[in-house]
Chain A
């Protein structure tokens, strides 16, 4: 018998998120001195003195030409994913993401496949996901950017069975389990970004998007449908709202972001993937004009699947049980961004590398646990 005591603490999360954004927004108020009217003024207050200024490292643009200065971004938003582009700017990017999952977990504890096989006929042992993501962005005006994300997924999963004879296509448990693979287009997402507030040091971005059910939910293994997580899409429309705050204080760029994915309606196989929620904080440090390093912490919450595919036997394997998809995860990621070009008419090329691992996983399982993830991004903006 498998017992689960997972209880999401959304109250804490919501309060944390609200506090986070309020704190950031408050801190972004420009510091403008107000003076009484008249022609005679007192000397500058100490905090505006040159000496005080020198306490804070300042980027030196004095070697740039006037034309180059006009190409420099006030907020170097290429360091973070979320940002509104300048009017007329087009950005195209390609991202290769990978995620490796090995072993099962229940709650925060790891469990061996043998233990899983006491409750299920089969157990997943590992899964790998590769996703090629094409992103297109266009900003018709300064404050609004439209974005389309087209994913192409390559999924593979290995299993072991309680009865070695269950192995398919000649792969037995002793051979490391039988593999499953699916490849194809995922759910396409179209989003709009609105820069609700822009100051010299910050951008508050509201984001809203729709996820389209372009990914297949009909992937088969032999004569049965593959489990939920091996399908390429959700089979239903989704709403993807997000709120992001980007603050800049040289040489740091900070991003705080909250995002949710709400699945709308059951798909044609009688289930709806669970909603997902995430909050993240990213700090990027500019090492030089072309190179920045970043660290990112992200918390994710996954709801369980509603309904069930009637062709999948929930007792056969945990991945076929729709209630065993709920969980929480906190990831810690590290990134490096290299970019060339000042943007504007000359264009800007960026190369981003990111890798991370979960520092905490609490899964209503048995569920496959994430070991690490990585991404390589190449983008061009003009």
Chain B
């Protein structure tokens, strides 16, 4: 006679496996702030800085520092702090976090966090005639007057360009930056 075992272990195993996998996944995904997308966008911002020329009165040839400002908070903004000390076209990158709009014109490039979407108008007003490269990853940023805007779609990162805003800020954009951008104005 052949007897079949009851297999109680078998019945509880799927639950144990699911519990284990859930815990592992939670642990992994909780670290989303260091996600691939953030790392990708960080690299984009670094490229932007190296592919833009500022007017001499904003960034003198002998200047040893390039100031990247940040306004607002989000994981990408926090990650951009990691660019401190990088050398961009011979200049040391300095990352500063601004809390007051009256000060943001002191930087050469300003990353505006999505948390500031409702105050974009005020940001752009504060930067009028200041030759600051504005960068964000906020829907509608470039359409509203920002120069470069990172967007995610089709599982890739893309960027939008407002040429009009760049011209107003007297910024000269490199050909590679122009060629790959989605021009919104």
Contacts and interface: CB of A to CB of B under 8 A. Distances in A.
A70 B157 contact: yes
Nearest to A251: B36
Interface in B16-39: 17-19, 21-22, 24-26, 28-39
B78 interface: yes
Interface residues of B, number: 74
A344 interface: yes
B115 A69 contact: no
A91 interface: no
Given A27-B25, A45-B73, A48-B73, A17 B18 contact: yes
A336 to B, nearest CB: 20
B18 A39 contact: no
B156 A86 contact: yes
Nearest to B102: A39
A107 B36 contact: no
Nearest to B82: A50
Interface stretch (B42-50, B56-64, B127-135, B164-172): B42-50
B2 A106 contact: yes
A330 B29 contact: no
A124 to B, nearest CB: 15
Contacts, number: 256
Interface string A227-247: 000000000000000000001
Contact of B180 (A53, A70, A250, A281): A70
B33 A31 contact: yes
Contact of B22 (A20, A59, A252, A366): A20
A345 to B, nearest CB: 11
Interface in B78-92: 78-79, 81-82, 84, 86
Interface in B128-168: 152-158
B73 A35 contact: yes
A119 B166 CA distance: 85
A57 interface: yes
A299 interface: yes
Contacts of A1: 1
A288 B6 CA distance: 45
A250 B73 contact: no
Nearest to B15: A16
Interface residues of A, number: 95
Contacts of B79: 50, 53, 58
A265 B4 CA distance: 30
Given A27-B26, A108-B5, A67 B119 contact: no
A13 B15 CA distance: 6
Contacts of A249: 28-32, 34-35
Nearest to A76: B36
B14 A73 contact: no
B69 interface: no
B176 A4 contact: no
Contacts of B10: 108, 328, 330, 360, 362
A44 B43 CA distance: 21
Interface of A: 1-6, 9, 12-13, 15-17, 19-20, 23-24, 27-28, 30-35, 37-45, 47-50, 52-54, 56-62, 64-67, 69-77, 86-87, 106-109, 111, 115-116, 119, 142, 198, 200-202, 247-250, 252, 254, 256, 279, 281, 283, 297, 299, 328, 330, 344, 360, 362, 364-366
6 contacts: A12-B12, A27-B30, A33-B115, A43-B99, A72-B157, A200-B37
